[in-house]
Structure 1
Amino acid sequence: LRGSSVAFRCSYSYREGETVRETAWSKGHIKQHNWKRVELSDLASYENRSVYLGDRQHNCSLAIHDVQGNDSGYYYFRFDTDTYGWRSRAGESVHLSVTELSARVHPERVRAGDDVTLECGTSCYRPPGTVWFKDGRPVANLTFQAQPGDSGNYSCAIEGQESDPSDPVALDVQYAPLNMSIEVSQPGDVAEGSSVNPTCSAVANPAADNYTWYGASVSSSSSSAMLWVGSGQVLTLPPGKASHAGLYLCQARNSVGENSREALLTGYHTDSEYMYHRLSQNVQCLPGVFQEQCHDYENTMNMKNINNHLFPGHLNNLASCDHNTCVSKGESNEYSSMIAVQ
């Protein structure tokens, strides 16, 4: 295995009364298009990596540390005595085959929620002690249910040899649109006649390739009255009019599934002008979730909470939000406008 150490266990014998003067290991090597045996002591790549463990008696063992791919090949031993020399023949050589550590992810492409298994091994065996990394960070579980954040490059290494990991393999987790948001082209107050073009975005894998918009006017009191109003990430509305006020829903879709997001647009006007006004998403009444303290508004909101969704209706003077209910007080002849993203 690349990066590990290997030992050739070897013994030799000679005629009684002889004295061994020299021993050496060589490797079959192609040099200038010719194959020949080259002693390891003459190969710079083996310097400080090959260690002769034997002696000049009967032990001829050899160790090679930090094995590399180009260490693969045939190795030969020789010894010389006072009167003769011995060279190992082809059938007496040692063949070293260096394998790479391989990271495998099963399957490599999944959908969120599918089971994933990580396997680390070589073509010969599966090492007993391995560690895993995702984008360079340790991974604890070798079997898990895939989530969107699990996409990335995975590699493994022998425990204790973390600096020499396998080549990475990619895991692609596909999922339906998430983290949807709706933004408006012009923040703040926009005079009547100006354009307000909501933009819908989503995080998805593969990317969402279909955006559809639906809308319901302020006169409607349920989502069943919502009608198709456009396609694409940006909804192009005609210059602002009071009739544009209402609930808008963006639906994003990819090959895995779909998701949607709603935005409520209501109008603000006095006797002489009509304006759109966009408030921070921090000031909103979310079903089941209260993020920040609501502020006081002395206007009448054309909005109410129906079946845990914000739909057009009637609510006098939005004053505060609690856990799941919009609370109001007071009266006014003016209309406050809001784009509240749910």
Structure 2
Amino acid sequence: MECSGVGFEPEGVLACFGQRHLITTMPDRLDVLTGSCVQIPCSFDVPVQHKDTFISAILPSGVWIKENSNFGEHPDRVIFNSSETFNRYQGKITGNMSQKNCTTIFFNVTTNYTNRYYFRIESQPYRATDPEKFVNIVVRGEVKEGTPVSLNCSAVAPCPEHPPELTWTLPTQFTSENQLQENPDQTNSVLSTVTFTPSYLHHEMNITCTAVYPVGTSNKTAEHNMMLNVSFSPKDTSASISPADSVLVGSCVNLTCSSTANPPVTNFTWFHISEGKTTKVASGQNYFLNVTAGDGGQYYCEGRNSHGCGKSNEVQLAIKGQELVIGVAAGTLGAILLISLISLFVWRRNSRLHDGLERTDSPQGQNSPVGTVCTNQTTAGEEPEEPAEDQPEEIQYGDIDFSKLQTKETPAAAQDRIQGQESEYAEVNVTGSRAQEPPLNNLDGLYAQVN
């Protein structure tokens, strides 16, 4: 039989290939979340030929070796030794080594914990490693939002008739399933599996698995906590500008982009919106800008990581002086609109007056329009009163039918009456015509006031 020094055995004895001096029982694989802890169910036994060498009364030390069971040339592979105060991995052996229970828990697991792990015992005069059995620990660095996740929690069940009850505390809705199972070492445990879909709001929140053991008429509890590490694309992305008020050309402004993301945002990009056109203007979380006349408008930013990007709100950069130009333009437009309305009003008024004059010049005997009254009409034989010099004339337009004003008169008086009638018609026409045209000075003054 060919023998080799590879492996570990009672002092002074070489191990032969195919011969195990320590037999361990542990899971083949454990999936763990980064930032949490991992419990390795473990038990061991000593082969018959070494029963006399292993003294259970002497508490052995438990040793965990990473990657390869042969650590003679690579002592750094030893990551935990229960007899040492300080270890590379923070943990403890929770099982009773005197009863060959090597169950171990490691805390604050990180992604570099992913590897194979072998177990070794050291006890005078017996020391040995099981080179054929290892547990493969796989650490997932992140739980992605929106992706269903399953977590396992187990607790030993020393009394299968009264197994512990496992419950979960999670920050979201979940489904769980519990089952009693027999371990390879023929012990029993309760395994609880919980399934849920994480959100970015659950990042860095705690998950708790609690085991309640019935002990007589009371209960005893044990629990394990872990923190969720949820990866997500940028959320709550926002842009801000300082100063927020209008600035002068040549001033310096600072635009800042902020976002929540896991992993953190690796790239910030700034965009400028002006006259309906969007332009990429800068990269970086902060954008320092020496303001020019063309920098006015809206700005927004985008944050991006390996899972996607998030867009911010839009912020306005206002430049002093541009508001005045806009105000003057708006005032000019308003003045043009007002002048147009005045011109339309004058034109419509002239049109109505022109229609009234045409009705006044209609032939005698034509009926007057309903509702029109001539203000200077007098009773037969009465002289019309002269208006006061300081009182403005109120003129309403209508038809005057002198043929209905019949009095006894001489031929000479009739001739005078006809001449007077023609003179009054002429006076009415002239007065009405002048009333149509407002003085040009007033219109010019209104135009100047608007401008």
User: TM over 0.5: same fold?
Assistant: no
Highest RCO, 1 vs 2 (Cα 8 Å, sep ≥ 6): 1
Taking structure 1 as the reference length, the TM-score comes to 0.44
Larger radius of gyration: 2
Taking structure 2 as the reference length, the TM-score comes to 0.34
